[in-house]
Amino acid sequence: MKKLNKFLLMGLLALYASCTTDDFDSSSAEKNNQTQATSLSLTTSTGSKVMMQAFYWDVPAGGTWWNTVSTKVQDWSNAGIDAIWLPPVSKAQNGPFSMGYDPFDYFDFGEYNQMGSVETRFGSRQELESLIQNAHNQNLAVIADIVINHNSGGDQESNVYTGTDTYTDFNPASGMFYRSATDFHPNDTHSNDSGAFGGYPDLCHDKSYVQDWLWKQSNSVAKYYKNTLGVDGWRFDYVKGYEPWVVNAWVNEVGGFAVGEYWDSNVDLLENWTNNAQASAFDFACYYRMKDAFDGNDLTRLQDDMLWKRNPMRAVTFVSNHDTNEIYNGKMLAYAYILTHEGYPCIFYQDYEQWLDKNQLNNLIWIHNNKASGTTNILHADQDEYIARRNGNPGLIVYLNNSDNWQERWVSTNWYNSQIKDFTGKSNWEPYTQADGWVKLQAPPHSYSIWSTK
């Protein structure tokens, strides 16, 4: 999901549209598909380390963002990041001011003079391709934000399905993926799908023409982004707006890591979506339980059900993103939680680069990549304290303390007659575990310690 663009005309609020059955002009399309990727997609697996959300809402306009991110990727890779999630890369209705969530031309990456600019808010196509190649040179996968629920910026046309004029006539300068009333809802197939967003024309994914242009044909959005731009994976925006089979079909066609934004704290709904889409989902159940725990000062909420507890291979955990930043107190404890537990953690750009202690985050990333393996057991939870054990090799024990004082507890470990230490450096204890694996650990006030073998 994303914030509604402030330039959206109120008149769009009642409008829906539909999909065209006309055959696309293949000769024209192929002519526009001659650019070769400066760097093809990575073959390494995404999801084993940590993702960076490489933007925030209203990043500086003026076409500088791709270059800004490009200066960061080497440091991020050195820190242990394995993927960067970019905002929507194509030209949107509000041109140089848009964050990309009001898509108009899926094949204009900052090279056509339309919607008030040549470049996107983030920069030119050349700068985007340079960023992707730079990321790949640093062994970082590139995750593209895919907005296919709705479109914006079409011209007005007479719509036989509504009996009114609707803004559903899309004539992109790239010459790729023209759209008209039949390509949107309502149309001759059905009046709506799972959900519309903000009054924008709502794409109909049941139309073969739309499927062809989005993922099926050789110069579809999916194949162009992967084969020509070099994108490695996908973050699907507002997946509540269309059926999960769409994501499943996309990934079956082109592959790549995929995560959906199913914004709901109900873990049953999240799990159901991941099963049907055969893709990962952002773990909003985890996010809201962390909000209850750290801002609500009740760490027992960390015992509640979350997506990572049901299917860690399908859970992308996070503390903040471009849409929501509601964990104010104990944010570092929240990062200590997601970076020591199962799931694929995502770090928010502003948390890492501006708001929090980068050295502490880098330490947590190192711990995640080197110590956090195996299944999870919760060893203790009360209002102020939470202790959990990862059972891998070497595994770890994380101790969260949200009280005003240092705390100590005896816990059961998987290490026997072994010396351990706190890899955060917050405690200078280096105790030996007993023959039965028990040991006394400590954690500082409103902070955490993370223990493992030396």
Architecture of the 10-370 domain: Alpha-Beta Barrel (3.20)
Class of the domain covering 376-453: mainly beta
Confidence of residue 42 (pLDDT cuts 50, 70, 90): low
pLDDT at 40 over 50: no
pLDDT at 367 over 80: yes
Confidence of residue 47 (pLDDT cuts 50, 70, 90): confident
- Mean pLDDT of the 240-263 span: 98
Q: Is 234 helix (H, G, I), strand (E, B) or coil?
A: strand
pLDDT at 7: 35
pLDDT at 34 over 90: no
DSSP state of 230: -
Confidence of residue 355 (pLDDT cuts 50, 70, 90): very high
Q: What rounded mean pLDDT belongs to the chain?
A: 92
Give the β-pairing of 376-381 and 396-401: unpaired
Contacts of residue 340, defined as CB under 8 A and 6 or more positions apart, other chains included, come to: 364, 367, 368, 372, 388, 390, 396, 398, 450
- Range(s) within the chain of domains with CATH label 3.20.20.80: 10-370
pLDDT at 98: 98
Residue environment code for 274-286, b if the CB has 16+ CB neighbours within 10 A, otherwise e: beebebbbbbbbb
CA angle 138, 358, 388 (to 5 degrees): 100
**Phi, psi angles (nearest 5°) of residue 11:** -65, -20
Could you tell me if 239 and 260 are in contact, meaning their C-beta atoms sit under 8 angstroms apart? yes
Between residues 46 and 70, the one the model is more confident about: 70
Q: What is the pLDDT of residues 75-120, one digit of tens each?
A: 999 999 999 999 999 999 999 999 999 999 999 999 999 999 999 9
Residue with tokens 């995502």: 346
Per cent of the chain over pLDDT 90 is 89
User: Of 428, 385, 422, 379, which Cα lies nearest the Cα of 404?
Assistant: 385
- Range(s) within the chain of domains with CATH label 2.60.40.1180: 376-453
Could you tell me if 160 and 109 are in contact, meaning their C-beta atoms sit under 8 angstroms apart? no
- What pTM value is reported for the model? 0.91
- Counting every residue, how long is the chain? 454
pLDDT at 178 over 60: yes
Helices (H), 262-326: 267-277, 284-290, 307-310
For residues 28 and 18, give the distance between their C-alpha atoms in angstroms, rounded to a whole number: 23
As beta bridge partners, residue 203 has: 184
Confidence of residue 340 (pLDDT cuts 50, 70, 90): very high
pLDDT at 46: 78
pLDDT at 388 over 80: yes
For residues 137 and 268, give the distance between their C-alpha atoms in angstroms, rounded to a whole number: 39
Contacts of residue 149, defined as CB under 8 A and 6 or more positions apart, other chains included, come to: 195, 196, 197, 202, 203, 237, 238, 239, 241, 242
DSSP state of 240: G
Q: Which of 47-51, 168-172, 387-391 has the lowest mean pLDDT?
A: 47-51
pLDDT at 72: 98
